[in-house]
Structure 1
Amino acid sequence: MTMHDPIKSPDKSEGSPSLIERASQMYDFRKALSPDAPKLPEQGNDPAPAPIETPSVMASLDPVAPAAVPAAAPAPAPVRPRAPVLPVAEIDRDLLRESAFIVPDGPVTSISEEFRIVKRRLLASVQAEANAGIGIAAQRILICSANPGDGKTYSAINLAISIAAEKDHDVLLVDADFAKPSVLSSLGIAGQQGFMDALADPAVAVEDLIIPTDIPGLSVLPAGRQTNTDSEYLASARTREVLASLTAGRPGRIVIFDSPPLLAASPAATLAQHVGHALMVVRADVTSERALRDALSLIAGCNQIQLLLNGVKFSPSGRSFGSYYGYGE
C-alpha cells in the first residue's frame, strides 16, 4: 500500500471552511484558469488529411489466347493373342460301340433310327423358331433331366452325332455339367479348358477352346474349370457374349448343351433362359410324375419344351422309340 500525507482537520475555532474552500486549498484551480494556462486544441478545426492515393492493383492485361493442346491419340485396342488352332481329336469308336452310342459310318441300328426321328422333329422346331424371329437362341438346344441317371448325357451325345450327319448343319456339343462333366470321357477325349473358363475370364475367347473332331460336322466344347459359382457366371452378361460367339457367322450350327440334372443343381435352370429349345429326358419307370412336373417348372421360361422317353422296354406298336440299350450314365 502507498502512504498518503494526512489531511489536516480544520480548526473549529476559526470556523469551518466550505467544501469549495477546502478543495481550493488542496488543488490550485486558479492556476488552471489563468490566461497563461495552456489550452487544449479545439476539436474539428484541424484540416482534413489529404487523401492517400492507393495504387490500383489491377493492371490492364491484353487477353492471351490459350495455347492449343494437341488432342491425345486414342489408345490402341488391346490385341489379344490368338490361341493356336486345336488339333483334331479322334473319337474312340470302340468306346462308342461298347457304350451303345451311335457309331458314325457304322451299320444302321435301332438307336440311330430313333435319333433320326428325334432330330428331324427338333430341326423342324429350330427352323420354325428361326422363321418366327426368335434370333440365334433358336440354334441352341438344352438336354436336361429331372434326376441323375435319366440318360441326358447319353441322349445329348447321340443327338449330336446324328445331327452332325446332316448336310445343312454342323453341331457343337457343349458339356455344361460343370460339377460332373462326362462328355469328353464318353468320347475318349482328354480334358482341357472349356466353357466355364471363357465365362470366368473375359480375356479367354471361347472359340479358341472348341475342339474339332474327326467326325465331320461335330465339335466339342469341354466344361472347363469347376467352381461353386457356376449359376452366377451363367446369369452374368458375359454369358450372352460367349453364347453369341458360338454361332457367330454360322447360321447352320446347332449348339447342344448337356446340363446337370434340374432337381440336383441350379445351372440347368439358369442356362434354360438362353436357349430356344429344351429336351427333357424322362427315364421310363424311374422318373416320377412329381419330379417331372417340378423339373418342368424350372425351365418354364424356355420357348419350346419336348419330352424324350428313355429306357422303354415295350411298345404296343412294335417301335422301340427311346430304348437305349446298355445305357449307363
Structure 2
Amino acid sequence: MRGDPIHGAPPPPPPRRRGSLLERAVERYGFQPGAGLRPMGPAPARQPDAAEPPPPPVPARAPQPIDRARLAERGMLVPGGPVSALAEEFRLVKRQLLLAAREGDAARSRSVLVCSAQPDEGKTFCSVNLALSLAAERDLEVLLVDADFAKPDVPDTLGISSGPGLLDALADPTIDVEGCIIPTDVPNLSVLPAGARSDNDTELLASDRAHALLQRLERANPRRLMVFDSAPVLAASTAAALAEHVGQVLVVVRADRTSESDLREAVALLDGCDTVQLLLNAVSLQPRGRRFGSYYEAEEEA
C-alpha cells in the first residue's frame, strides 16, 4: 500500500525569499557589516541626475557713464534733462508697450523688438530714446540689446565702450550672457552689446540655445524689460528670427521715406510675433500747431 498521503514525501522547500533592500545592497556592493555601511571598494559613480551647484555669481561691473553731450547733439533724450516734446512723445509710446506687457505673457511680453523696413528710418534713434524713457520708470530695469549685428550702433550712440555680447554667448556655451551686460550711470539702464560679428548670426538666433538664453534673460529678473535694436527687416534676416523670441514688435515708419509696399512686406516677415505696432517717425508739424512741450514752456514763461 502506498504511503499515507498525509505522511508521504515532504513537500518541496518554499522558494527562497529575496533579502531586504539593505541585504541585497550588502551582497551587491560589498558593504562591510558594522562599519557604518561604508563600501569596501571604490565609491560608486555620481548619479547623472544629481543636482549641480548653481553657477557662481557674475562679478559686479563698474557703471559706464553715458555721453549726455553726444545725446543732446543728436537731438535725443538726455537723462535728467528738462521735459521736452520728444520726452512726452516717448512717454506715450512706452505707456502702450507697458500696457501690453502687463496684459500679455509675464515674461515674453517684456521683450520688445524695435526695427524698421529699410535702413536710415530712425530705428536706433527710437530704440535708444525708448530705453532711456523706460529707465525713468520706478519699477523697471531696462536692458537695451544691440541686435543689429551688421551695424551695431548702440554703444557709439550712448558713448560707451563695447565688448563681448549676445552673439558671443550664443556661439560659445562657456560664456555667461549676464557677464556681458554693461551697466550705465543712468539708473535702471544696462546695455548688452552685439558681440563679435558672425556669418551665421541668423542661424544662431534660430537655435534652441538662443531660445533658452533669451528666456533666461527674461526670467532672471521680474523687473527687467528688454529692448532689442534690430537690423532693418528688408535688409537682413535677423529681425525676422528675433521676432519669434519677443512678445512685442515696434516697427519704425519714417513719414517721408517708408513706402507702403515696404511696410507691408516687413510686417509680413515679422509674423513670428503676434503683437506688431507702428511708430511714425520724422513727422513735420506746423510751427503753431499743437505739440507736446509747449505746455511746459508756457508754464516757465508765466
Contact 2:164/2:180, CA 8 A, preserved across alignment: yes
1:47-66 Cα shifts (integer Å, max 9, x gaps): xxxxxxxxxxxxxxxxxx87
CA distance in 2, matches of 1:204, 1:78: 17
User: How far off is 1:255 after superposition?
Assistant: 0.3
Find the partner of 2:83 among 92, 95, 108: 108
Residue 72 of structure 1 aligns with an amino acid whose one-letter code is: A
- Cα separation, 1, equivalents of 2:65 and 2:206: 33
Instruction: Read off the aligned partner of 1:270 and give its amino acid letter.
Output: A
Match of 2:254 in 1: 283
Question: Residue 320 and residue 177 in structure 1: after superposition, are their counterparts in 2 closer, same or farther (change >3 A)?
Answer: farther
Which one of the candidate residues 124, 139, 156 is aligned to 1:185? 156
2: CA distance, partners of 1:292 / 1:126:
24
Q: What are the equivalent positions in structure 2 for 1:240-251 lying under 5 Å apart?
A: 240-251=211-222
Which secondary structure state, in structure 2, belongs to the residue aligned with residue 219 of structure 1? strand
Question: CA offset at residue 316 of structure 1?
Answer: 11
Question: Following superposition of structure 1 onto structure 2, how do residues 56-67 of structure 1 map, counting pairs within 5 Å?
Answer: none
Q: Determine the C-alpha separation between the residues in 2 that align with 1:81 and 1:249.
A: 14
Unaligned ranges ≥5, structure 2: 1-26, 31-40, 293-302
Q: 1:267 to 1:319 in 2, by over 3 A?
A: farther
Any residues of structure 2 matched to 1:41-52 within 5 Å, and which? none
- Matching of residue 123 in structure 1 with residue 98 in structure 2: yes
TM-score by structure 1 length? 0.72
C-alpha distance after superposition, 1:230-281 (max 9, x if no partner): 0000000111221122233422211000000000000000000010100000
Is 1:253 aligned to residue 224 of structure 2?
A: yes
Whichever residue aligns with residue 298 of structure 1, its letter is L
How far is 1:84 from its partner?
A: 3.3
Q: 1:66 to 1:117 in 2, by over 3 A?
A: closer
Distance in 1 between the 2:280 and 2:211 partners?
A: 31
CA distance in 1, matches of 2:102, 2:129: 21
Structure whose alpha-carbon radius of gyration is higher: 1
**Structure 1 vs Structure 2 CA RMSD:** 2.2
Q: Deviations along 1:180-230, whole A, 9 cap, x unmatched?
A: 100000000011101111111111111111111100110100000100100
Counterpart position of 1:195: 166
Aligned to 2:11: none
Q: d(CA) in 2 for partners of 1:115 and 1:79? A: 39
Residues 198, 204 of structure 1: 8 Å contact kept: yes
How big is the shift at 1:136?
1.5
Measured in 2, the distance between the counterparts of 1:116 and 1:227 equals: 36
* Matched residue type, 2:72: R
Who is 2:284 aligned against?
Answer: 313
Aligned residues of 1:150 and 1:282 also touching (Cα < 8 A): yes
Q: Are the structure 2 counterparts of residues 202 and 72 from structure 1 closer, same or farther at C-alpha, using a change threshold of 3 Å?
A: same
Cross-structure match for 1:295: 266
* Maintained 8 Å contact 2:149/2:197: yes
CA distance in 2, matches of 1:276, 1:162: 19
- In structure 2, the CA distance between the partners of 1:284 and 1:192, relative to structure 1 (3 Å rule), is same
Name structure 1 gaps, 5 residues minimum: 1-64, 322-329
Structure 2 CA distance, aligned partners of 1:290 and 1:201?
A: 39
Q: Give the match's secondary structure for 1:105.
A: coil
The letter of the residue matching 1:138 is: S
| Paired position in structure 2 for 1:72 | 45
Equivalent of 1:89 in 64, 71, 96: 64
Give, in whole Å, the separation in 2 of the partners of 1:165 and 1:86: 21
